[in-house]
Amino acid sequence: MRITYRDAMRLAIRDALLADPRVLLMGEDVGLYGGSYAVSKGLIDEFGPDRIRDTPLSELGFVGAGVGAAIGGLRPIVEIMTVNFSQLALDQIVNTAALLRHMSGGQFSVPIVIRMATGAGRQLAAQHSHSLENWYAHVPGLRVLTPATVADARAMLEPALADPDPVVIVEHAALYNIEADVPDGITCDIERAAVRRPGSQMSLVTYGGSLPKVLAAADLLAAEGIDAEVLDLRVLRPLDFDTVAASLRRTHRVVVVDEGWKSGSLAGEVVARIAEECLFDLDAPPRRVCSAEVPIPYAKHLEDAALPQVDSIIAAVRQVIA
Amino acid sequence: MRITYRDAMRLAIRDALLADPRVLLMGEDVGLYGGSYAVSKGLIDEFGPDRIRDTPLSELGFVGAGVGAAIGGLRPIVEIMTVNFSQLALDQIVNTAALLRHMSGGQFSVPIVIRMATGAGRQLAAQHSHSLENWYAHVPGLRVLTPATVADARAMLEPALADPDPVVIVEHAALYNIEADVPDGITCDIERAAVRRPGSQMSLVTYGGSLPKVLAAADLLAAEGIDAEVLDLRVLRPLDFDTVAASLRRTHRVVVVDEGWKSGSLAGEVVARIAEECLFDLDAPPRRVCSAEVPIPYAKHLEDAALPQVDSIIAAVRQVIA
Amino acid sequence: MTTDRVRLLADMYRIRRMEETCAELYGLQKIRGFLHLYIGEEACAVGALHALTDDDNILATYREHGHALVRGVPMNSIMAEMYGKASGCSRGRGGSMHLFDATRRFYGGTAIVGSGLPQAVGLALADTILARHGITVCFFGDGAVAEGAFHESLNLASLWHLPVLFVIENNLYAMGTALARAQAQTDLASKAAGYDMSSSVADGMDVEAVHAAVADAGGRVRGGWGPHLLELRTYRFRAHSMFDAELYRDRAEVDGWKRRDPITSYSARLVADGVLDQAGVDGLDRAARDEVAEAVEFAEAAPWEPVADLLTDVHTARGMS
Amino acid sequence: MTTDRVRLLADMYRIRRMEETCAELYGLQKIRGFLHLYIGEEACAVGALHALTDDDNILATYREHGHALVRGVPMNSIMAEMYGKASGCSRGRGGSMHLFDATRRFYGGTAIVGSGLPQAVGLALADTILARHGITVCFFGDGAVAEGAFHESLNLASLWHLPVLFVIENNLYAMGTALARAQAQTDLASKAAGYDMSSSVADGMDVEAVHAAVADAGGRVRGGWGPHLLELRTYRFRAHSMFDAELYRDRAEVDGWKRRDPITSYSARLVADGVLDQAGVDGLDRAARDEVAEAVEFAEAAPWEPVADLLTDVHTARGMS
Ligand SMILES: Cc1ncc(C[n+]2csc(CCOP(=O)(O)OP(=O)(O)O)c2C)c(N)n1
Ligand SMILES: Cc1ncc(C[n+]2csc(CCOP(=O)(O)OP(=O)(O)O)c2C)c(N)n1
Ligand SMILES: [Mg+2]
Ligand SMILES: [Mg+2]
């Protein structure tokens, strides 16, 4: 079935609502408005306003309510419109959802799934263009997922909801319109990174909204005779480093692509792990292609210049292969 | 003059209040209570409740008020009691203070200094033991400082207040009682890392509350005949990587010590930069000594096991030197 | 106040025509990103800002084109900003949601709902401590009232007795969420009592009513009586942004409000009062259209910021502080 | 209700004696970290929890020893938790600020001021959707009222008509900040109006008054009338935590409140009413002391969690979900 990433998310949410009466979707404008990215369009008609629950603009309050609902036995899917506003709710995510099981000596589960859109590239300017994945990936007790394909958008929610612990799903807004054929009954392993394109000369490691750019770069590089393997990390915490290491031990060269600002980025964590665990497998210094260290500007040419692009990925690969 | 780190901070705040009528200190219990770590004890008597301004428990509100006050021409020092509560105020720090100058095309300055205590080690359990430096160090537009010595506590505030842009000062609570002689008129370069102990065989890179542990480890290592250089990063953003690289090019081995959780840590950023820029200078894989990936527990033996310790630093050095 | 009444109408026309053109330019992809139109709500910004002085600080939201314009930001530089050009009032870095003008004490332009309120408290604190005489006026939507920032800011302003005028532009919806689906207590002005603050309500479709309410409340705040909460009851005629299918409200409701269009009704009133004749009204409209045409021309011709300047003003250049 | 009255007094003694011993143990460094004593406020937790049922959910703050104990968490496991022992009610990982007991619906024990309130909304939502009959009772201090979380949570609970009883333990100070220096509106119960919520006030030094107020408000909430805000006026006799020099309040003020000690006054009342004689009162006190002594013995002997278990329960073990 050919569907968009947006449809895939919706179908996954719908399946979850049908399968388990404890599941509900809550967030700003998920109901009557149909979701700010139209992901939940129509669901309120099918499931009603109790299970497709519109919230006021109270990120701390409704995320905390989601945490409480999860502790109380529901399986809430809480949508924060974008990662930018998730900053208002961080306390509930980090200080309760992530800590509670351990801090209570294992007594409480917080089976919440928190979804949020992320990323830049649509000229929404500095306050609406953050990529803060590494903030979340830093926190023990959270699982952080980044569906980068239509198939993952379709299949990730089920295991995320089955996880008795809090899961953060970060959806790059630039992906909602991509399309693909997705077979029925597809599943997703939320423990493992995925090889999106096998290759032998170079490992390109990425996740989320950067995957299409990296695949495009890999295609162009192939035309130049450079055979790059593309890895999609898919789960940012706990990181599946084995898959990265296995690739690197074959290719000996790596570029990590991440839309976050370079300093303090998740790409930095990946490069650090590589240096710690695979130093002598490297034939060249690893490189990161990240966003420039600047608030993302509105003007298109400046925004383009600030973000990882196919060109800058190719340039980094050339440096590493030289 | 022999003073504690706490005294040093207070003297620095007092100097700033005396020097510039635009300076004020605001935060929870900075006034009548004397500061939750007694840093501001007595200042309200000298400067009155308008300039030593107690706030209600409203982190988002009073940090945002500090941002507005800075835009409006004051030089506020805003104290967030601890980094743990700073999560509630992140939106104002990241979405306004850090972005405003760039986003407005250079029209507005936000000369705010935000101080916060951080760190674990006093059995305060999971919600009061975070180290989130890398969250802040990830954000363009912020300068992030970590005074690790009494001298830096004494001298850092002045240049921080002189900076027309927002500065976050993170003070490890375990340092408040350390003592040292601090000469009058001491200054601090908030652009540069500091070499705290010269050495030739190994670079130990750290910052903030871990510095005393690293120095203790270096002393013990010296007794074993291992001559380690100790670097205090001091400014986490923008990172002074040159000083790290210069050390490494002499020692060829490095251990980075950071109380943050390892995944997504600032230590990861440092290791990544080393791999990118100094790969062929390394004689051994770099190592990080960080906190275990676990909410920090209350019980002392468990807390100790979760945090970097002199022993674990020495063990990492031995691995790297082997 | 004959002249003033004409200027009120003229400014409403300027906003209306500018935004209608913006909507067209959005279709032409000259303007990108988010574009939130103020059409229908013009009486709020116009009535309010005409009752304030140059010393007052203004904060608004992402729906702030009107506020910027009436505050005196030249239409040329607003339009250039929407285009993302270097001659824009934020050098093209902010776009529609982030219009700024330091010289006019126009503090933007924030895209985080509720985030202007704490800053308004701080600006007023600065004015108080630095013995400046302006007041701080912070505009925000009904949606923002649910945010914790509203609560914390109103308490701080009242506790510290600061000269802040908080103005709710209650257009009955936060995106697709009707007020009654967001607020247990829909009488928003009444919330001031929880902060021991005075409050008032005015008809946000009537520019003179808004002017009077702001003059009154602003005078109170200016006089040292502490902050005030003013609720303006208004309505947006267009979608929330350019991406909105408007599934959440009836055509009939929208049409009902459109019959109260602040511009047509005020035009009629000025004609009825003999302040203007229809030709005079048309003249204002035409002047507005001309100004818009010129602004578009300006924006079209304006230069882009060089990519080489991308990193300027992240931090202040060293030695320039 | 003869028996009940005795149990009210008995429970107040249990809290008082337990905490006095905790303070001593803190001096001996058996208990570490932060320790916030409830001494003086016992009537609040005792009166409230005796008016609730096992089906109700309880959330409290870092000043929650009393709530945990009256809820039925064994004193042994509370004391072991304070010691950081594996037999503690949070396996020694939480300490004084993080007492938990899932089987008794005791949801802790949070050290972030205000963070329990949104969770209370969610717990009540879960009960409503899962058709369980309990109500959710959330205790917090006067300081928490200034937090955005208070505002957002009260609105959500009222908007969604959820069975939450919000209980302010107004002890007049948040650390060193007196209520009037934190709140523009110091009548805290009156804030409920901003959320179209009912409210009431009770004397938090009088255990029966608290009991009656909670029975009343709880009944209202249980009956489906929506959430309620209850303010208990009380006072802490000790420092905020063990690190507090108490520079911010007068000895005379503290002494004045101590003359209203909830335990001595209630003891006298029960003697006057002939419910107990002095020997009966002394017997309750002695029983409390004995229980404390045993709890200390238990905690002393209890095992430490093995360091090898440090990482358990960060995530659920695979295959165990
Ligand atoms: C903190 C935050 N949450 C969510 C959003 C997304 N958002 C943008 S505008 C809006 C509705 C705001 O409504 P209101 O405050 O009534 O202003 P109006 O758009 O009606 O002028 C929402 C939900 C945001 N920008 N910031
Ligand atoms: C969000 C947050 N800010 C600050 C603190 C530090 N702190 C702990 S208790 C406290 C005072 C709280 O006062 P109140 O709510 O009245 O409760 P009480 O201690 O009087 O019982 C403060 C400021 C905190 N724990 N959490
Ligand atoms: Mg609105
Ligand atoms: Mg209190």
The CATH number that applies at residue C181 is 3.40.50.970
Contacts of A292 in chain C (CB under 8 A): 310-311
How many domains does chain D fold into?
Answer: 1
Size of interface A-C (CB pairs under 8 A): 124
Q: How far apart are CA D294 and CA D76, in angstroms?
A: 7
Give the model's pLDDT for residue B104.
98
Give the model's pLDDT for residue C2.
53
Of D97, D305, D311, the CB nearest to B299: D305
Closest atom of ligand 1 to CA, residue C140:
15
Size of interface B-D (CB pairs under 8 A): 123
Cβ-Cβ contacts under 8 Å for A298 (sequence gap 6 or more):
A123, A124, A125, A126, C32, C33, C84, C90, C92, C93, C94, C95, C98
| pLDDT tens column, D162-173 | 999 999 999 999
Residue B267: phi, psi to the nearest 5?
Answer: -55, -35
Subunits close to A (at least 3 CB pairs below 8 A): B, C, D
Q: What would the DSSP string read from start to end of C65-127?
A: HHHHHHHT--HHHHHHHHHT-TTSTTTTSSGGG---BGGGTEEEE--STTTHHHHHHHHHHHH
Where does residue D74 fall: left (phi above 0), alpha (psi -120 to 50 degrees), or beta otherwise?
beta
The two tokens of residue D220 are: 């209202």
Mean pLDDT of chain D: 96
Q: Is residue C314 included in any domain, yes or no?
A: no
Q: C-alpha angle A265/A268/A274, rounded to 5°?
A: 155
Answer whether C115 touches B (CB < 8 Å).
yes
Closest atom of ligand 1 to CA, residue C112:
26
Chain D's closest residue to C226, CA to CA, is: D184
Are C101 and B143 an interchain contact pair (Cβ–Cβ within 8 Å)? no
| pLDDT tens column, B154-171 | 999 999 999 999 999 999
Give the model's pLDDT for residue C321.
39
Burial class (CB in 10 A: 0-12, 13-18, 19+), A66: buried
CA of C144 to the centre of ligand 3 (A): 8
Contacts of B123 in chain D (CB under 8 A): 32-33, 84, 95
Are C94 and A57 an interchain contact pair (Cβ–Cβ within 8 Å)? no
Q: What would the DSSP string read from start to end of D108-160?
A: EE--STTTHHHHHHHHHHHHHHTT----EEEEEEGGGGGSHHHHHHHHHHHHT
Answer whether B45 touches D (CB < 8 Å).
no
Read off the DSSP letter of residue A248: H
Contact between residue D178 and residue D241 where contact means Cβ atoms under 8 Å apart: no
Q: How far apart are CA D88 and CA C319, in angstroms?
A: 58
Burial class (CB in 10 A: 0-12, 13-18, 19+), C103: exposed
- Report residue D245's pLDDT band, with 50, 70 and 90 as the boundaries: confident
Q: How far apart are CA B149 and CA C52, in angstroms?
A: 50
Using a CB cutoff of 5 Å, list residues around ligand 3, an ion: C 141-142, 171, 174
CA distances from A92 to A87, B101, D156 (A): 10, 30, 16
Q: How far apart are CA D42 and CA D25, in angstroms?
A: 20
Contact between residue B108 and residue C94 where contact means Cβ atoms under 8 Å apart: no
Are A137 and B264 an interchain contact pair (Cβ–Cβ within 8 Å)? yes
Give the model's pLDDT for residue D321.
39
Q: How far apart are CA B13 and CA C191, in angstroms?
A: 38
More confident residue, C320 or B173: B173
Interface test mutation site (partner A, options C29, C31, C32, C185, max chain A beta carbons within 10 A): C32
Which residues in chain A show pLDDT less than 50? Answer: none
Read off the DSSP letter of residue C206: -
For residues B84-106, average pLDDT: 98
Of B28, B33, B299, the CB nearest to D248: B33
Residue A118, helix vs strand vs coil: strand
Using a CB–CB cut-off of 8 Å, the residues of D that contact C are: 146-152, 154-155, 158-159, 181-185, 190-191, 193-197
Residues 161-190 (B) with a CB less than 8 A from some CB of C? 162-165
Contact between residue B281 and residue B247 where contact means Cβ atoms under 8 Å apart: no
Q: How far apart are CA B275 and CA D294, in angstroms?
A: 58
Q: C-alpha angle A224/A225/A230, rounded to 5°?
A: 95
Same fold, A2-181 and A194-321: yes
Answer whether B159 touches C (CB < 8 Å).
no
With tokens 């007492």, the residue in question is D99
| pLDDT tens column, D92-151 | 999 999 999 999 999 999 999 999 999 999 999 999 999 999 999 999 999 999 999 999
CA of C246 to the centre of ligand 3 (A): 14
The boundaries of the domain holding residue D289 are 2-299
**To test ligand 2's pocket by mutation, which of D65, D98, D175 has the most ligand atoms within 8 angstroms of CB?**
D175
Minimal Cα–Cα distance from C279 to chain A, Å? 40
Closest atom of ligand 2 to CA, residue D114:
1
Chain C's closest residue to D181, CA to CA, is: C159
Is A293 annotated in the active site?
no
- Report residue D320's pLDDT band, with 50, 70 and 90 as the boundaries: very low
| pLDDT tens column, C195-242 | 999 999 999 999 999 999 999 999 999 999 999 999 999 999 999 998
A114: which strand partners? Answer: A78, A168
Interface test mutation site (partner C, options D115, D142, D147, D151, max chain C beta carbons within 10 A): D151
- Report residue D2's pLDDT band, with 50, 70 and 90 as the boundaries: low
- CA nearest to A132, candidates A149, A146, A153, A122: A146
Answer whether B158 touches D (CB < 8 Å).
no
Residue A143, helix vs strand vs coil: strand
Are D107 and A108 an interchain contact pair (Cβ–Cβ within 8 Å)? yes
Nearest ligand, measured from the Cα of B37: 2
Answer whether A306 touches C (CB < 8 Å).
yes
Give the model's pLDDT for residue D317.
77
Burial letters A34-61, b for 16+ CB under 10 A, else e: bbbbbbbbebbeebeeebbbbbbbbbbb
CATH number, domain A194-321: 3.40.50.920
- CA nearest to C104, candidates C72, C138, C75: C72
Q: Is residue C307 included in any domain, yes or no?
A: no
CATH number, domain A2-181: 3.40.50.970
Give the model's pLDDT for residue C320.
44
Are B135 and A275 an interchain contact pair (Cβ–Cβ within 8 Å)? no
| pLDDT tens column, C253-274 | 999 999 999 999 999 999 999 9
Read off the DSSP letter of residue A128: G
**To test ligand 1's pocket by mutation, which of C36, C113, C179 has the most ligand atoms within 8 angstroms of CB?**
C113
- CA nearest to C166, candidates C148, C186, C184, C188: C188
Residue D13, helix vs strand vs coil: helix
Q: What would the DSSP string read from start to end of A253-293?
A: -EEEEEEEESTT-HHHHHHHHHHHHHGGG-SS--EEEEE-S
| pLDDT tens column, B107-122 | 999 999 999 999 999 9
Q: Is residue C245 included in any domain, yes or no?
A: yes
Catalytic residue among B79, B128, B252, B269: B128
CA of C194 to the centre of ligand 3 (A): 22
Give the start-to-end residue ranges of the domains of chain B. Answer: 2-181, 194-321
B294 lines ligand 2 (CB under 6 A): no
Interface test mutation site (partner A, options C82, C87, C98, C240, max chain A beta carbons within 10 A): C98
Give the model's pLDDT for residue D244.
87
CA of A165 to the centre of ligand 3 (A): 36
The two tokens of residue B153 are: 């506590």
With tokens 């022993």, the residue in question is B311
Answer whether A198 touches D (CB < 8 Å).
no
Contact between residue C157 and residue C128 where contact means Cβ atoms under 8 Å apart: no
Are D155 and C147 an interchain contact pair (Cβ–Cβ within 8 Å)? no
Are A65 and D156 an interchain contact pair (Cβ–Cβ within 8 Å)? yes
Helix (H) or strand (E) holding B8: helix B5-19
Is B59 annotated in the active site?
yes
Contact between residue A185 and residue A44 where contact means Cβ atoms under 8 Å apart: no
C175 lines ligand 1 (CB under 6 A): yes
Q: How far apart are CA B298 and CA B304, in angstroms?
A: 10
For residues D34-62, average pLDDT: 98
Interface test mutation site (partner C, options A45, A53, A124, A302, max chain C beta carbons within 10 A): A302
How many CA atoms are closer than 13 Å to the CA of D244, on its beta-carbon side? Answer: 23
Helix (H) or strand (E) holding B100: helix B100-103
pLDDT at D196 over 60: yes
Model-wide pTM > 0.90: yes
Chain C's closest residue to B104, CA to CA, is: C90
CA distances from B252 to B106, B194, B233, D205, D266 (A): 42, 18, 18, 68, 73
Are B104 and C98 an interchain contact pair (Cβ–Cβ within 8 Å)? yes
Which residues in chain C show pLDDT less than 70? Answer: 1-3, 318-321
pLDDT at D73 over 60: yes
